[in-house]
């Protein structure tokens, strides 16, 4: 599985792209943004939570799949009825926060007598992506974690739906930027997605039976019943944290990442992806940043 590490050290985007002091860059840590500053339908900066303002010729939102749409909605850009209900004046009616997708998944715990000792060993870098239907791409993924998340803890196979059909929503609940938005993941709302996740978990169990390790859960009686397995999934469901499409290209931004109807405003994170990629979003997010930098320079 590809990674952005060399000699056991992870390379961050800061290390890869900035590399030392930049006289044209100011980083303000612990400086939360309250909302965009708008003159009509033009962005001219951001208002900070402490009351200060930062003005700019162009604003680029890169706060991620949840905070970016939250900032847009706090600024009056979003579904009009939702904004009015939250007490925010409507600047522009756009489907912000609607119809996004992510990778739902569960961890299948196991034990192993002799797990690989090094995180770069072949066993720790194994990921299975395969087609569970007629689609030519990978529908599900089983990813091996051969280092425990806690000292002396269990190992895990993470099973995820790589091509989900279910879609989620983000809802503005208050004009106060300190109040978090409502998130309805709507995972596994379709039989398509439930079938795929069952398939991934049963495949993980087959791998463990073949000698990868000893399964801790779910039990055989659960694996053999769709309703029981669905209940087990519901009790252990988690997210791969790959939320995409909450300010998507098409309905919210154009192909040059500009927010429709607002000049001087772009989005440059996984919010713009119409659907979640079939793999993790880290490299895709970096590619979006590279493209945004290119567009800003044109």
By annotation, the residues acting in catalysis are 242
Residue 169's alpha-carbon distances to 8, 27, 67, 101, 181, in angstroms, are: 38, 31, 13, 9, 10
Q: How far apart are the first and last CA of the chain?
A: 35
User: Tell me, what DSSP letter sits at residue 11?
Assistant: P
Torsion 197-202-206-208 (CA) sign:
positive
Q: Which residues of 70-100 are buried (b: 16+ CB within 10 A; e: fewer)?
A: bbbbbbbbbbeebbeebebeebbebbbbbeb
CA-atom Rg of the chain in angstroms: 22
Please list, in sequence order, all residues whose beta carbon lies within 8 angstroms of the beta carbon of residue 217, skipping any fewer than 6 positions away. 108, 109, 232
Q: 57, 264 in Cβ contact below 8 A?
A: yes
């Amino acid at each position: 599985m590809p990674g952005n590490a060399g000699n056991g050290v992870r390379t961050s985007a800061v290390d890869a792209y900035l590399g030392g002091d930049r006289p044209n860059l100011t980083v303000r840590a612990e400086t939360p943004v309250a909302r965009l500053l708008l003159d009509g339908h033009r962005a001219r900066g951001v208002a900070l939570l402490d009351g200060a303002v930062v003005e700019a010729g162009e604003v680029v939102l890169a706060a991620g799949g949840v905070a970016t749409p939250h900032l847009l909605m706090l600024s009056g850009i979003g579904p009009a009825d939702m904004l009015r209900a939250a007490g925010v004046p409507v600047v522009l009616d756009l489907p912000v926060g609607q119809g996004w997708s992510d990778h739902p998944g569960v961890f299948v715990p196991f034990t192993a007598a002799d797990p690989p000792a090094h995180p770069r060993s072949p066993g720790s870098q194994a990921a299975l992506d395969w087609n569970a239907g007629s689609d030519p791409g990978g529908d599900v993924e089983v990813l091996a974690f051969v280092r425990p998340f806690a000292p002396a803890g269990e190992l895990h196979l993470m099973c995820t739906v790589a091509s989900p059909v279910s879609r989620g929503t983000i809802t503005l609940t208050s004009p106060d930027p300190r109040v978090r938005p409502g998130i309805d993941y709507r995972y596994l709302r379709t039989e398509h997605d439930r079938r795929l996740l069952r398939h991934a978990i049963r495949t993980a169990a087959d791998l463990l039976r073949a000698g990868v390790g000893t399964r801790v859960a779910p039990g055989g009686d659960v694996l053999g019943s769709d309703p029981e397995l669905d209940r087990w999934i519901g009790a252990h469901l988690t997210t791969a944290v790959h939320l995409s499409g909450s300010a998507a290209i098409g309905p919210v931004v154009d192909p040059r990442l500009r927010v429709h109807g607002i000049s001087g405003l772009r989005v440059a994170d996984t919010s713009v992806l119409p659907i979640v990629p079939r793999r993790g979003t880290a490299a895709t997010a970096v590619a979006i940043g590279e493209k945004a930098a290119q567009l800003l320079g044109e």
